[in-house]
Amino acid sequence: MSIRNDTVARQVTPAYDVARIRHDFPALHQEIHGKPLVYLDNGASAQKPRAVIDAISEFYAHDYANVHRAVHTLGERATQTYEAAREKARHFINARSPEEIIFVRGTTEAINLVAQSYGRNTLRAGDEVILTQMEHHSNIVPWQLLREQTGIVLRVVPIDDSGELILDELEKLFNRRTRLLTLTHLSNALGTINPVHRIIEMAHARNVLVLLDAAQAVPHLSVDMQALDCDFYAFSGHKLYGPSGIGVLYGKKDLLAAMPPYQGGGEMIRYVTFEKTEYADLPCKFEAGTPNIAGAVGLGAAIDYVSGIGLAAIAAHEQDLLAYATDRAAEVAGMRIVGTAREKASILSFELAGIHPHDIGTILDSEGIAIRAGHHCAMPVMRRFGVPATARASFGMYNTRDEIDALIAALHRAREVIR
Partner 1 sequence: MSDLRDLYEEVILDHNRSPRNFLKKPEGTNHQAYGFNPLCGDEFRVYLAVEDGIVKDVGFDGAGCAISTASASLMTEAVKGKSLEQAHALFEDVHKLLTQRAESSDLGKLAVLSGVHAYPMRVKCATLAWHTLQAALENRQGETVTTE
Chain positions contacting partner 1, by CB under 8 A: 33, 355-359, 362-363, 365-366, 374-375, 382, 388-389, 417-419
Closest CA relative to residue 108, chosen from 326, 270, 262, 289 = 262
3-state secondary structure 370-404: ECEEECCCCHHHHHHCCCCCEEEEECCCCCCHHHH
Closest CA relative to residue 289, chosen from 69, 58, 138 = 69
Smallest gap, in angstroms, from Cβ of residue 318 to partner 1? 27
Smallest gap, in angstroms, from Cβ of residue 259 to partner 1? 34
Residue 311 burial (C-beta neighbours within 10 Å; 0-12, 13-18, 19+): middle
Out of 377, 379, 387, 409, the active site residue is 377
Looking at beta carbons only, is 109 or 367 nearer to partner 1? 367
Looking at beta carbons only, is 191 or 357 nearer to partner 1? 357
Looking at beta carbons only, is 204 or 413 nearer to partner 1? 413
Helix (H) or strand (E) holding 18: helix 18-23
Distance of CA 287 to the CA centre of its chain: 21
Which SS3 state, helix, strand or coil, does residue 327 take? Answer: helix
Contact 351, 390 (CB under 8 A): yes
Smallest gap, in angstroms, from Cβ of residue 363 to partner 1? 6
Cα dihedral across residues 33, 38, 42, 45: positive or negative? positive
Residue 213 burial (C-beta neighbours within 10 Å; 0-12, 13-18, 19+): buried
Q: What is the dihedral of CA 261, 265, 270, 275, to 10 degrees?
A: 90
Looking at beta carbons only, is 12 or 333 nearer to partner 1? 333
Smallest gap, in angstroms, from Cβ of residue 417 to partner 1? 5
Smallest gap, in angstroms, from Cβ of residue 375 to partner 1? 6
Smallest gap, in angstroms, from Cβ of residue 141 to partner 1? 14
Residue 94 burial (C-beta neighbours within 10 Å; 0-12, 13-18, 19+): middle
Contact 134, 189 (CB under 8 A): yes
Cα dihedral across residues 383, 384, 388, 392: positive or negative? negative
Looking at beta carbons only, is 81 or 133 nearer to partner 1? 133
Contact 239, 221 (CB under 8 A): no
Looking at beta carbons only, is 316 or 409 nearer to partner 1? 409
The Cβ-side half-sphere exposure at 120, using a 13 Å CA radius, reads 16
Q: What is the dihedral of CA 284, 285, 289, 294, to 10 degrees?
A: -30
Smallest gap, in angstroms, from Cβ of residue 357 to partner 1? 8
377 is catalytic: yes
At 393, give phi and psi (nearest 5°): -100, 130
- Distance from C-alpha of 403 to C-alpha of 28, rounded to nearest angstrom: 12
Contact 49, 25 (CB under 8 A): yes
Looking at beta carbons only, is 76 or 365 nearer to partner 1? 365
Smallest gap, in angstroms, from Cβ of residue 358 to partner 1? 4
Looking at beta carbons only, is 33 or 206 nearer to partner 1? 33
Residue numbers annotated as active site: 377
